[in-house]
């Protein structure tokens, strides 16, 4: 089994297609450019996903968006009208991560329809929590909460020092 991870921008708006048997499929292509011998070369890789994953992918991504994807290779062949055998390679999507959406403020840029934000998944919430070294469901302390906590621990006889509590706030955030 050959497994690849690729990163690139979506070549076109992902489209969900319904299959005759009742399932759904989404086929998409990632493009990435590189320079070789002074010329820009564009590489492409095609991924395919099915059913719930296809619906989730199509609903949460748009043309030009940066995508990281992992998939297993599937090689297929067919005979064209002239009798020649053609072979093509696609990768069955096993994992993907969305990157930034394309900027639309450039002159002549494509205007894609606005999409609602996609809720944070448990996996990405856990990854963010690990990076911040805390529980995934632990709320972030606000400045007011920390200042209140500092005031409650200060000695009441030093009321004039309460104004300096905000100086110590950054230690707890």
Q: What is the mean pLDDT of residues 122-144?
A: 50
pLDDT by residue (tens digit) across 74-102? 999 999 999 999 999 999 999 999 999 88
Can you give the pTM of this predicted structure?
0.59
CATH of domain 3-110: 2.40.50.140
Q: Which secondary-structure segment (H or E) carries 10?
A: strand 3-10
Give me the torsion for CA of 89, 90, 96, 100, rounded to 10°.
80
Distance CA 93, CA 164 (A): 55
pLDDT at 19 over 60: yes
pLDDT, the chain, mean: 76
21 or 116, which is more confident: 21
The angle formed by the CA atoms of residues 85, 14 and 88, to the nearest 5 degrees, is 15
Which percentage of the chain shows pLDDT scores above 70? Answer: 60
Q: In the chain, where are the structural domains located?
A: 3-110, 140-173
- What per-residue confidence (pLDDT) applies to 13? 94
CB-count exposure of residue 24 (10 Å: 0-12, 13-18, 19+): middle
Q: What is the mean pLDDT of residues 34-39?
A: 92
pLDDT at 127 over 50: yes
Distance CA 8, CA 29 (A): 9
Task: Name the E strands within 23-101.
Answer: 24-36, 39-50, 66-79, 85-98
pLDDT at 63 over 70: yes
Q: What is the mean pLDDT of residues 18-45?
A: 94
pLDDT at 15 over 50: yes
Neighbouring-strand partners of residue 73: 91
Q: Count of CB atoms within 10 A of residue 101's CB?
A: 14
């Amino acid at each position: 089994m050959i497994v690849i991870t690729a990163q690139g921008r979506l070549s076109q708006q992902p489209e969900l297609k319904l299959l005759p048997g009742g399932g759904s499929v989404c086929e998409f292509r990632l493009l990435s450019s590189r320079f070789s011998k002074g010329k820009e070369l564009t590489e492409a890789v095609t991924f395919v996903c099915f059913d719930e994953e296809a619906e989730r992918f199509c609903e949460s991504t748009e043309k030009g968006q940066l995508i990281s994807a992992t998939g297993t290779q599937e090689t297929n062949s067919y005979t064209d009208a002239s009798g020649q055998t053609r072979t093509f390679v696609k990768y069955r999507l096993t994992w993907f991560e969305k990157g930034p959406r394309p900027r639309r403020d450039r002159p002549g840029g494509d205007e894609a329809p606005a999409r609602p934000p996609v809720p944070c998944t448990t996996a990405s919430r856990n990854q963010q929590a690990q990076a911040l070294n805390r529980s995934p469901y632990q709320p972030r302390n606000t400045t007011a909460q920390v200042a209140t906590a500092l005031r409650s621990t200060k000695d009441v006889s030093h009321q004039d020092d309460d104004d300096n509590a905000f100086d110590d706030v950054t230690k707890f955030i």
